[in-house]
């Protein structure tokens, strides 16, 4: 009975006895129940349901005989009968049609040309120069997954209960949604995996209005990605349509002397005017990959109190580090020490040093870049960290520009961190934190921060 409508459970005490008796029999995540009060039963009506009747007494001593549907009701079984194109055939117009879709992020743009490639790129128009472009291929061409669990993608004739045919599903919006998958490999070599080509698993889900739009894109393991898209082409195949859970009616007939509807039920209807509106959840579309922006969000608002002096000193000494990131990679920034990305799993911790602090190297970079001294109204300062882990693709150490930006928040621990890679193994790490706010005005001629105003 775990899936009984929450509104009934919280508002009607009359269900307590029924729940206690039947919860063991109806412990299914895919079964929904709804109460009905059709009034008194007619003579002989209840005899045919003798094995499924429970007597319920409400808090007001009202009594009802409730007909509880059997767990294996044959009328509730979903029997399929299909003789049409397989999912592979249905998706051929998409995978071989050459159509493309774009997804625009803050820094990167993603181009998915179905069945051909998944590319991320950034174009920057420099004054007086040609357009500068950086791009990575997250996958090229396509192949059907070899796993046995995807054999259903080639099924064209179905006859029998749907429960006998297992289709891979992905858990979204509180539901198990069936999906169709293709694999796009042979992407840009990944230096973190001995130059193994990047690979993306593209999952298509049925949506009658879908046009191949990218719902989400994330990194599931090092240089392996998952893209989820909408497609209307799948919806004609019964295995890939979203399965709605059937609603089983529990009919409670009033016994002698009891009203047709319990007093609590009537009160509930009058209070809510029988309007129960379920608001759909917003689909999550954040992208979080090593190359892509990865964000930890915090509540925004005015800064009501500045970080205490000891916390500021700990931060500037590199003893108080900032952490962020969602998905496969997380990020750690320790001011004046290092910036790194890491991944934790059962086998341990994988760390990639993006750059270490070298004050002389930073000052040279600052001078070469001809950075101006930040003004008192500056909300951001950039530092250069070099000498990171060696990059196999360039043969040079990694390096990163750390952009420190004030993040106004009610919490002094609020932090947002994102990473982009404009060039191979050359990164930009955005760090937005409330602890940075009181420090920016103290930046000296090299952008270095202090706990008090710098001397002229």
Given this model, what pLDDT does residue 31 score?
A: 56
Report phi then psi at 442, rounded to 5: -95, 0
So what's the architecture of 309-442 in CATH?
Answer: Distorted Sandwich (2.70)
What percentage of the chain has pLDDT greater than the value 90? 27
pLDDT tens digit sequence for 2-24: 433 433 433 344 444 343 333 33
Given this model, what pLDDT does residue 116 score?
A: 94
User: How far does CA 179 lie from the centroid of its chain?
Assistant: 16
Confidence band, pLDDT 50/70/90 cuts, at residue 299: very low
**Residue 156: is its pLDDT beyond 50?**
yes
Burial track 98-107 (b if 16+ CB lie within 10 A, e otherwise): eeeeebebeb
Task: Look at domain 79-240 and name its CATH class.
Answer: mainly beta
pLDDT tens digit sequence for 304-323: 344 477 888 889 999 889 98
A 10 A CB-CB count for 120 gives 26
What percentage of the chain has pLDDT greater than the value 70? 75
Give the predicted TM-score (pTM) of the model. Answer: 0.56
The token pair at 140 is: 């090229």
Given this model, what pLDDT does residue 359 score?
A: 94
**Residue 302: is its pLDDT beyond 50?**
no
**Residue 449: is its pLDDT beyond 50?**
yes
Q: pLDDT averaged over the chain?
A: 77
* CA gap 209, 231 in Å, rounded: 7
Confidence band, pLDDT 50/70/90 cuts, at residue 86: very high
Confidence band, pLDDT 50/70/90 cuts, at residue 340: very high
Burial of 351 (0-12, 13-18, 19+ CB in 10 A): middle
Given this model, what pLDDT does residue 333 score?
A: 94
Question: What number is the average pLDDT over the span 230-250?
Answer: 81
Confidence band, pLDDT 50/70/90 cuts, at residue 209: confident
**Residue 140: is its pLDDT beyond 50?**
yes
**Residue 74: is its pLDDT beyond 50?**
no
More confident residue, 251 or 282: 251
Q: Do 309-442 and 79-240 fall under one CATH topology?
A: yes
Given this model, what pLDDT does residue 83 score?
A: 87
The token pair at 127 is: 């004054």
Domain borders along the chain are: 6-76+244-272, 79-240, 309-442
Instruction: Identify the weakest region by mean pLDDT among 108-117, 251-260, 277-286.
Output: 277-286
pLDDT tens digit sequence for 161-205: 767 778 899 988 778 899 999 999 999 999 889 899 999 999 999
Question: What number is the average pLDDT over the span 52-74?
Answer: 79
Instruction: Specify whether the backbone of 336 is left (phi greater than 0), alpha (psi in -120 to 50) or beta.
Output: left
Question: What number is the average pLDDT over the span 256-280?
Answer: 66
Given this model, what pLDDT does residue 419 score?
A: 84
């Amino acid at each position: 009975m775990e899936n009984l409508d929450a509104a009934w459970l919280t508002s009607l005490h009359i269900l307590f006895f029924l729940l206690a008796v039947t919860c063991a029999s109806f412990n299914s995540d895919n079964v929904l129940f709804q109460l009905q009060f059709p009034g008194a039963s007619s003579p002989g009506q209840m005899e045919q349901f003798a094995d499924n009747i429970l007597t319920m007494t409400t808090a007001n001593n009202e009594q009802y005989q409730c007909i509880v549907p059997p767990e294996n009701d044959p009328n509730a079984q979903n029997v399929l009968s299909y003789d049409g194109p397989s999912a592979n055939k249905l998706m051929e117009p998409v995978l071989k049609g050459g159509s493309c879709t774009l997804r625009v992020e803050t820094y990167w743009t993603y181009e998915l040309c179905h069945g051909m490639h998944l590319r991320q790129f950034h174009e920057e128009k420099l004054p007086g120069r040609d357009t500068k472009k950086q791009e990575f291929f997250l996958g090229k061409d396509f192949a059907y997954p070899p796993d046995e669990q995807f054999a259903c993608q080639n099924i064209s004739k179905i006859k029998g209960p749907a429960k006998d045919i297992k289709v891979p599903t992905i858990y979204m919006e509180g539901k198990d949604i069936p999906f169709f998958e293709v694999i796009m490999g042979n992407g840009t070599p990944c230096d973190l995996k001995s130059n193994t080509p990047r690979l993306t698993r593209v999952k298509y889900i049925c949506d009658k209005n879908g046009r191949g739009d990218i719902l989400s894109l994330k990194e599931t393991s090092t240089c392996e990605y998952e893209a989820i898209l909408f497609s209307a082409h799948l919806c004609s195949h019964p295995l890939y349509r979203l399965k709605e859970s059937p609603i089983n009616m529990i009919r409670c007939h009033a016994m002698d002397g009891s009203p047709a509807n319990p007093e609590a039920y009537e009160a509930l209807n009058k209070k809510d005017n029988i309007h129960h509106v379920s608001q759909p959840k917003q689909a999550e579309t954040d992208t979080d990959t090593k190359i892509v922006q990865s964000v930890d969000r915090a509540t925004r608002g005015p800064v009501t109190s500045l970080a205490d002096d000891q916390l500021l000193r700990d931060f500037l000494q590199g003893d108080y580090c900032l952490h962020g990131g969602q998905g496969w990679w997380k990020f750690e920034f320790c001011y004046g020490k290092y910036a790194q990305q890491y991944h934790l799993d059962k086998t341990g911790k994988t760390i990639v040093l993006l750059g270490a602090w070298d004050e002389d190297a930073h000052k040279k970079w600052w001078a070469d870049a001809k950075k101006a001294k930040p003004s008192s109204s500056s909300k951001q300062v950039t530092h250069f960290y070099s000498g990171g882990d060696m990059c196999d693709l360039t043969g040079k150490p990694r390096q990163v520009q750390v952009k420190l930006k004030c993040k106004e928040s009610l919490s002094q621990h609020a932090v947002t961190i994102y990473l982009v890679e404009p060039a191979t193994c050359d990164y930009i790490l955005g760090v937005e934190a409330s602890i940075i706010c009181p420090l920016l005005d103290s930046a000296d001629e090299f952008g270095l921060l202090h706990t008090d105003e710098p001397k002229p």
